[in-house]
Structure 1
Amino acid sequence: MSPDAEIALSSNSWAFVEAKKLVDRYAKAAPEKGYVLFETGYGPSGLPHIGTFGEVARTTMVRHAFSILSDIPTRLIAFSDDMDGLRKVPDNVPNQELLAANLNKPLTVVPDPFGTHNSFGEHNNARLQAFLDQFGFDYEFRSATECYKSGMFDESLLLVLKNYDAIINVILPTLGPERQATYSPFLPICPRTGEVLQVPIIRRDEAAGTVTYSDPSTGEDVTVPVTGGHCKLQWKVDWAMRWHALDVDYEMAGKDLIDSVTLSSKIIRILGKQPPEGFNYELFLDQEGKKISKSKGNGLSIEDWLTYASPESLSLYMYQNPKKAKRLHFDVIPKAVDEYFSFLEKFPEQEAKQQYANPVWHIHNGNPPSEGLPITFGILLNLAAVVNAEEPSVLWGFISRYAKGATPASNPELDKLVGYAIAYYRDFVKPTKQYRLPTEKERKALLDLVTELTSLPAGADATEIQNAVFKVGNDNDFENLRDWFKALYETLLGQSQGPRMGSFIALYGINETVALIERVLAGQDLGAE
């Protein structure tokens, strides 16, 4: 084992903890297929959402961690369950009537409501691949429809038929009496309507590889092969069959699928193989604390996040605390951006073990960039708010004075951040700003702050300015200095929270800050600008 691998083995990063499971899985010998297979699953009944991205991003992080611990090659399959029947019409797509007329048909048969692809499933698969490609993921796409129809799953499907009774005995105890009476792991594709049928199986012919059901409309007995795409499996059995057919070694899933993982693991053992390794991550929640749903379209989309922040900040949000339920709303973006650059700044000075636990190592596959930022995203947002910035050049006028030599050309990451800050300010900060006039106590403190700021030496840095702000708060008997800073935020910035004032004033300028305070003391309405 290499020195890097020995250090990584001691890392407490969750990605390395997961990778160690695979090291133990193949401690005696490498897999016969010659590689370790990671899989992520996607149900294309609705548009891909940010949670889908999160699963691929996290799985990729485990895959890369494993590559440090082992020389066994790896592959990642992004699997789309696109042969599933459309059970309901998503809320966030056009042409609802078109979809309603094709309920229960496989997603790759349902017409595309957007009119850009041959089917709804194909459209959503293209959307999935487009945003995975946008992030540079190394993956192979697999379509359930293609796998079923090509015969790739035939051997495993016949194995399910052979072990029908054993599989039924695993599933039935989890169902209610009514569902138990009609359940079958095989869902025939009706030759007459093309629909995925949930009907009882009345006969099975293991030698012929067929099942027979009664057509619910005509009453006729219909016999179909279980192979070649003539049947689809119920998804819990389907999941186990897919693990078996593809020989999957690792797949994570949401906390809501814990029971399904348990059942599918039992079924794959019946089929003769070991379940994949993995863990259950917590779900993302929308602004109201509800689970994000593909069909409802609540929560953020990939496009939403990338309008206001970098891909790397999104990857950081995915890396952090995967077993903790987190709100995924616009207000989490600024913190994620600043935390990303904070981790990036620390990385070069860290020892190897600390680097393996640093999120940027996992975000950048072990090779994070070196460019740091002289200004935080939060401060840029507040600067944009004070100067009512609509153009990057306005912010760069302050930045170039604060950080000597900084230009859009020499600091491209900072230039991107300026654009994100203007977009975020325009859409989320500006509409909610609400200024108030200072109280008498606060007026006196603001006057004192003007005196302190104007008496600072030329070229005073952010720390000196911050000390002056603290001094004014203490001198004016603010027992809790948070009340003093809150007063500054509410009267000068129009918000209840804000930046480190020393850094903000250093960027905005002492003279400009004094002028801002004087306008507030004169009773001018800053919100009218």
Structure 2
Amino acid sequence: MSDTSPFAGLSTEALNARAWPFEQARNLLARLLKSRLESDEDRDLASTLIHAGKTDEALATLPGMQREVIFETGYGPSGLPHIGTFNEVLRTTMVRNAFRALTGDHWPTRLYCFSDDMDGFRKVPENVPNREQMAEDLGKPLTEVRDPFGDGESFGRANNARLRAFLDQYGFEYEFLSATDCYRSGRFDATLLKALERFDDIQAIMLPTLGPDRRATYSPFLPISPTTGRVLQVPTLERNIEAGTIVFEDEDGTRVETPVTGGRVKMQWKPDWAMRWAALGVDYEMAGKDLIESVKVSSRICRVLGGTPPEGFNFELFLDGEGRKISKSLGNGLSIEEWLHYGTPESLAFYIYASPKSAKKLHFDVIPRAVDDYLGQIDAYRDQEIDKRIENPVWHVHEGRPPASVSPVPFSLLLNLASVANATDKDALWAYISRYLPEATPQTEPTLDKLAGYALTYYQDRVRASKVFRAPTEKEAAAFRDLADRLRALPADTTDGEIIQNEVYAVGKEHAFEPLRAWFGALYEVLLGASQGPRFGSFAAIYGLDRTIELLESGAKGDLAA
């Protein structure tokens, strides 16, 4: 790899970084040393070389390490890519990049985005055309279900194309794999034959996890009916290990002997997951907290198949605004498209990065804070030493190359400016911005221009109808008049937010607001019609002293509440 890689030469810092992707990368490295090297001497040597920044030497001298490291994420193409898909690919990419930094970017890695498109089609979506036609294809592999939109080769293939376009849109580096292609091409054949040979061992793991009725008919192999083309949930009646075949009863009652290879059967999903790990040599795959038991079961089956279960962790699930688990069927979540209607892709990645083992609410109200927190971390990154930089979320969001700057104006300030000015287009906002930042234009500050557009849209759609102004108390009204007088005493062209903020603080203390945040709460609730707001000095600087004075006087009279 070229030394221009943002991951080269970082192994020393990565060894001690506390950011969760580095914790995961170190766990993965420990697993690789244990699983790929046979002796303690080789493991010690490899560890010493890697810690000394000599991963290339370790790879050259220890053959067990020369195979590339495989990361994987899974996707079910029965629907469109969604926030969960983005989440898994993004977080896995972050661990991959941390691993590259840990090993000096000398150890080759690969990310498979695997589509389980040979799964049987179980339910016709509500929001598609040609539903009767789709109903005729129930039970068939998704790659054999006709595309209701008529655009793709099949429903599964069309959704695969959407997945790839979705991932490409965000610049992910990955290799797409189709279950159908892997089964039919023979890529899984050797592992499938091993599964046939160790059928009883797999059953011994699976049957205790099932109910009595399911247990009576369960088989890890799902044959594809040669007459109907459907994926069948039927018992395996006979096995012929030497011939590599099973016998099952087809839908018309005839007994059929079929090979387990060449795409003529698919495995049940937990054995299938394990088989995939073993066949592809997957080293790392994360999963949601709801799959903890499934990971344990599949890991046991993977060992039966002669593989080593991948390293990984179970992340918490997203919640809606009321704390309920997000469900596609309920439609109670926030989609990627909805987030990107109001905020940047980087702010979404930033929000997803944080605390993966804690449940996170994913709803409209978190977007403004996420955008501003992202901007704040970009600003902090500039002055940080390298050991702090690789723990900064924006290092992970931007794959080691964060921009030097993003926007000189916070999103929350733009949002409140749109609100107070009752702006309906970006030109209105730029009239204020240009006075505050005379050198700035939409061309020189493209991100600021985009944020102005997001702020306008968010205000019009999410804030305008919900704004509630209240009348001031006598104490608050007196403080507003005092602040207006102090601002009037400043030079009219003052655009220094700190100077204005000092006056704001002085008024709050002079009028004995205790705690002081009650004073800022009054400013937001009376003047902006919201419970929270931007740094008031910065807001006044960009809004203009004359207009801020008028706003304070209107608020003191109770005109805004009226």
Normalised by the length of structure 2, the TM-score is: 0.89
Q: Of 481, 489, 499, which residue of structure 1 is paired with 2:534?
A: 499
Aligned residues: 526
C-alpha deviations, 1:361-409, integer Å up to 9, x for none? 1111211110242211111100011111221111111112112311111
CA–CA distance in 1 between the matches of 2:556 and 2:378? 41
Deviation of the 1:93 alpha carbon: 4.4
Conservation of the 8 A alpha-carbon contact between 2:495 and 2:544? no
Letter in 1 for 2:255: D
Conservation of the 8 A alpha-carbon contact between 1:384 and 1:422? yes
Q: What aligned pairs does 1:60-209 form with structure 2 within 5 A after superposition?
A: 60-70=93-103, 71-209=106-244
Q: Of 50, 61, 69, which residue of structure 2 is paired with 1:36?
A: 69
Q: Of 246, 249, 252, which residue of structure 1 is paired with 2:280?
A: 246
Deviation of the 1:449 alpha carbon: 2.2
CA–CA distance in 2 between the matches of 1:214 and 1:421? 61
Conservation of the 8 A alpha-carbon contact between 1:91 and 1:297? no
- Judged with a 3 Å threshold, the aligned counterparts in structure 2 of structure 1 residues 24 and 523 are, in CA distance, closer, same or farther, namely closer
Q: Which residue of 2 aligns with 1:303?
A: 337
- Quote the RMSD (CA, aligned, Å): 2.0
Conservation of the 8 A alpha-carbon contact between 1:398 and 1:508? yes
Q: Which residue of 1 aligns with 2:359?
A: 325
Q: Which residue of 1 aligns with 2:368?
A: 334
- Judged with a 3 Å threshold, the aligned counterparts in structure 2 of structure 1 residues 169 and 313 are, in CA distance, closer, same or farther, namely same
C-alpha deviations, 1:154-176, integer Å up to 9, x for none? 11111111100001001111111
Deviation of the 1:99 alpha carbon: 3.6
Letter in 1 for 2:389: Q
Residue 15 (structure 2) pairs with residue 9 (structure 1): yes
Secondary structure, in 3 states, of the residue corresponding to 1:178? helix
Q: Which residue of 1 aligns with 2:266?
A: 232
CA–CA distance in 1 between the matches of 2:427 and 2:504? 29
Residue 444 (structure 2) pairs with residue 410 (structure 1): yes
Secondary structure, in 3 states, of the residue corresponding to 2:110? strand
Deviation of the 1:487 alpha carbon: 2.2
Q: What aligned pairs does 1:283-298 form with structure 2 within 5 A after superposition?
A: 283-298=317-332
Conservation of the 8 A alpha-carbon contact between 2:477 and 2:555? no
CA–CA distance in 2 between the matches of 1:52 and 1:372? 27
CA–CA distance in 2 between the matches of 1:32 and 1:67? 14
Conservation of the 8 A alpha-carbon contact between 1:203 and 1:211? yes
Letter in 2 for 1:306: L
Q: List gaps (5 residues or longer) in structure 2.
A: 1-6, 34-42, 44-61
Residue 485 (structure 2) pairs with residue 479 (structure 1): no
Conservation of the 8 A alpha-carbon contact between 1:45 and 1:295? no
Q: Of 261, 264, 267, which residue of structure 1 is paired with 2:298?
A: 264
Q: Which residue of 2 aligns with 1:352?
A: 386
Deviation of the 1:484 alpha carbon: 2.5
- Judged with a 3 Å threshold, the aligned counterparts in structure 2 of structure 1 residues 351 and 405 are, in CA distance, closer, same or farther, namely same
Conservation of the 8 A alpha-carbon contact between 2:471 and 2:561? no
Deviation of the 1:339 alpha carbon: 1.1
Letter in 2 for 1:81: D
C-alpha deviations, 1:147-204, integer Å up to 9, x for none? 1111111111111111000010011111112211111101111122222111111111
- Judged with a 3 Å threshold, the aligned counterparts in structure 2 of structure 1 residues 525 and 99 are, in CA distance, closer, same or farther, namely farther
Q: Of 410, 423, 426, which residue of structure 2 is paired with 1:376?
A: 410
C-alpha deviations, 1:54-83, integer Å up to 9, x for none? 111111111111112221111111000011
Conservation of the 8 A alpha-carbon contact between 2:476 and 2:556? no
Secondary structure, in 3 states, of the residue corresponding to 1:357? coil
- Judged with a 3 Å threshold, the aligned counterparts in structure 2 of structure 1 residues 289 and 89 are, in CA distance, closer, same or farther, namely farther
Residue 88 (structure 2) pairs with residue 52 (structure 1): no
- Judged with a 3 Å threshold, the aligned counterparts in structure 2 of structure 1 residues 336 and 92 are, in CA distance, closer, same or farther, namely farther
Deviation of the 1:23 alpha carbon: 2.2
- Judged with a 3 Å threshold, the aligned counterparts in structure 2 of structure 1 residues 150 and 296 are, in CA distance, closer, same or farther, namely farther
Letter in 2 for 1:201: T
Conservation of the 8 A alpha-carbon contact between 1:158 and 1:209? yes
Letter in 2 for 1:169: A
Conservation of the 8 A alpha-carbon contact between 2:480 and 2:555? no
Q: Of 295, 314, 319, which residue of structure 1 is paired with 2:348?
A: 314
Deviation of the 1:435 alpha carbon: 2.1
Conservation of the 8 A alpha-carbon contact between 2:411 and 2:451? yes
Normalised by the length of structure 1, the TM-score is: 0.94
- Judged with a 3 Å threshold, the aligned counterparts in structure 2 of structure 1 residues 200 and 303 are, in CA distance, closer, same or farther, namely same
Secondary structure, in 3 states, of the residue corresponding to 2:504? helix
Deviation of the 1:297 alpha carbon: 4.2
Deviation of the 1:281 alpha carbon: 0.9
CA–CA distance in 1 between the matches of 2:365 and 2:19? 26
Letter in 1 for 2:511: N
Q: Of 458, 468, 471, which residue of structure 2 is paired with 1:424?
A: 458
Identity %: 58
Q: Which residue of 2 aligns with 1:445?
A: 479
User: Which stretch shows the higher mean deviation, 481-490 or 405-414?
Assistant: 481-490
Letter in 2 for 1:516: L
CA–CA distance in 2 between the matches of 1:30 and 1:124? 40
Deviation of the 1:495 alpha carbon: 1.4
- Judged with a 3 Å threshold, the aligned counterparts in structure 2 of structure 1 residues 82 and 294 are, in CA distance, closer, same or farther, namely farther
Secondary structure, in 3 states, of the residue corresponding to 2:107? coil
Deviation of the 1:452 alpha carbon: 2.1
Q: Which residue of 1 aligns with 2:50?
A: none
Conservation of the 8 A alpha-carbon contact between 1:392 and 1:418? yes
CA–CA distance in 2 between the matches of 1:283 and 1:92? 25
CA–CA distance in 2 between the matches of 1:438 and 1:474? 17
Deviation of the 1:434 alpha carbon: 2.0
Secondary structure, in 3 states, of the residue corresponding to 2:518? helix
Conservation of the 8 A alpha-carbon contact between 1:82 and 1:145? yes
User: Which stretch shows the higher mean deviation, 143-152 or 449-458?
Assistant: 449-458
Q: Which residue of 1 aligns with 2:40?
A: none
User: Which stretch shows the higher mean deviation, 288-297 or 389-398?
Assistant: 288-297
Letter in 2 for 1:451: D
Secondary structure, in 3 states, of the residue corresponding to 1:222? strand
Conservation of the 8 A alpha-carbon contact between 1:92 and 1:297? no
CA–CA distance in 2 between the matches of 1:104 and 1:33? 42
Secondary structure, in 3 states, of the residue corresponding to 1:196? coil
Q: List gaps (5 residues or longer) in structure 1.
A: none
CA–CA distance in 2 between the matches of 1:51 and 1:160? 30
